[in-house]
Structure 1
Amino acid sequence: MEKAELRRSLLKTRQSMSVAQWKQSSDRICTYITNSPLFTQAKTILAYFSFKKEPDLGSLFANISFDGGQDTQTRKTWGFPRCVGDSLCWHLYTKDSLQKSAYGIIEPHADAPTIKPEEVDLIIIPSVGCDRQGYRLGYGGGYYDRLLSSPEWATKPTIGIVFDFAYLPQLPIEPWDQPLQNVCTEMGLTKVRS
């Protein structure tokens, strides 16, 4: 199956999930993440806001108070992406720094403080699908592949986030596709490469 056809199929399955199933599976994913050493040892984490029934990570950073961008409960600093041209720019998360993009995605304001690659300990990446080798199927824009192919980001620990039905034995891959190191579903967190 080609990428575009596979993407349509997986997105259709994801959209057909009941709200209760989506929420329960998202909560289980968050539990696996919070119990992992990757998360507990990280000080600065890059994540995403759920869009179109992507697994919702909101419980990782919801209902908490922030002091200078740091979560005062877990002492973690959170960053979120903003699309700038064909790249992602990462900004510090504060409750008053968010807006909806032209695509309806919640993202930081352009004037929110940025996060430099050397500050980042973990990147949690939304995915349409992932495979057992760590390859990711996204929406087709190539944002994360471009990010992870640059030297300052290439060695950062990564977790691809998908529901279990989208964790496949193998995806069609292109030469520019960048594999992730870990994949998390509602069934568990798996290290797929070092």
Structure 2
Amino acid sequence: MKSDLRKKIKNIRNNMDITNKMNLDNLIYNRIINSKNYIKSKMIFVYVSLKEEVDTHRLINKALLDGKSVCVPKIISKDEGMEAIKINKFQDLHKSKYDILEPLNFENKVDREYIDLILIPGISFDLKGGRIGYGGGFYDRFLNYNNLHSKNIGLCYEFQIVKKVPMDGFDMGVHGIITESREMYFN
């Protein structure tokens, strides 16, 4: 069931018209920077988007300009998950063996206790905070060890929201979702 849903949503997302995607990304960006969670946050953990995901590159630069501490994921390994690494500028990121932009090393590792906003990618979300990721469990493990003060917000396009996502016992949900047309919060 998860694999079928992943395949279906990825297919739609990967075939989006580039102009439409840019317009949707702009709407999502504006919702994020005007959200109460962004405005009051001091330290943000945000994924560095791949070309088919909701764009976060502009958001990372904006957060840095706004004087927020910004940290991004750096993968340790499939078994050990990932860490939050503070960056000072977007140019601190380099392509990894996983073909994603991330810091070169673990030098500026951040204690998760200080993160107050986590922006999360996903393939699909539901209206109760359920999330289907890419299948590696990186965010599930990261969120499982997170502090109780941070807000975990999924970023997605409206078509990625379904009635119910199948979740296993180790799957971690989100506190809210931001799309091009709305913000939803669950707790």
> What TM-score comes out, normalization by structure 1 length?
0.89
State the alpha-carbon separation in 1 of the partners of residues 122 and 176 from structure 2. Answer: 12
| Cα distance per residue 1:96-132 (max 9 Å; x no partner) | 4211111211111114411111211100001111100
Q: Are 1:177 and 2:174 an aligned pair? A: no
> What TM-score comes out, normalization by structure 2 length?
0.92
Does the Cα contact within 8 Å between 1:127 and 1:136 map onto a contact in 2? yes
State the alpha-carbon separation in 2 of the partners of residues 111 and 139 from structure 1. Answer: 23
**How do 1:19-168 residues align onto structure 2 when only pairs under 5 Å count?**
19-62=18-61, 71=64, 73-85=65-77, 86=79, 87-95=81-89, 96-150=91-145, 152-153=146-147, 155-168=149-162
State the alpha-carbon separation in 2 of the partners of residues 139 and 26 from structure 1. Answer: 20
| Cα distance per residue 1:117-171 (max 9 Å; x no partner) | 1211100001111100101111000111111222x43552111011100011111
State the alpha-carbon separation in 1 of the partners of residues 140 and 75 from structure 2. Answer: 14
Does the Cα contact within 8 Å between 1:148 and 1:154 map onto a contact in 2? no
- Which stretch of structure 1 is more off in the superposition, 49-58 or 131-140? 49-58
Q: How far off its partner does 1:190 sit? A: 0.7
Does the Cα contact within 8 Å between 2:140 and 2:171 map onto a contact in 1? yes
Overall identity of the aligned pairs, in %: 29
State the alpha-carbon separation in 2 of the partners of residues 138 and 48 from structure 1. Answer: 13
State the alpha-carbon separation in 2 of the partners of residues 184 and 88 from structure 1. Answer: 23
Amino acid at match of 1:119: Y
- SS at the partner of 2:49? coil
Q: How far off its partner does 1:188 sit? A: 1.4
Q: How far off its partner does 1:52 sit? A: 4.1
Structure 1: which 4+ aligned runs deviate by more than 6 Å?
none
State the alpha-carbon separation in 2 of the partners of residues 52 and 80 from structure 1. Answer: 17
| Cα distance per residue 1:9-53 (max 9 Å; x no partner) | 100100110111111111111111111110000010010111141
State the alpha-carbon separation in 1 of the partners of residues 149 and 161 from structure 2. Answer: 23
Does the Cα contact within 8 Å between 1:97 and 1:112 map onto a contact in 2? no
State the alpha-carbon separation in 2 of the partners of residues 185 and 23 from structure 1. Answer: 13
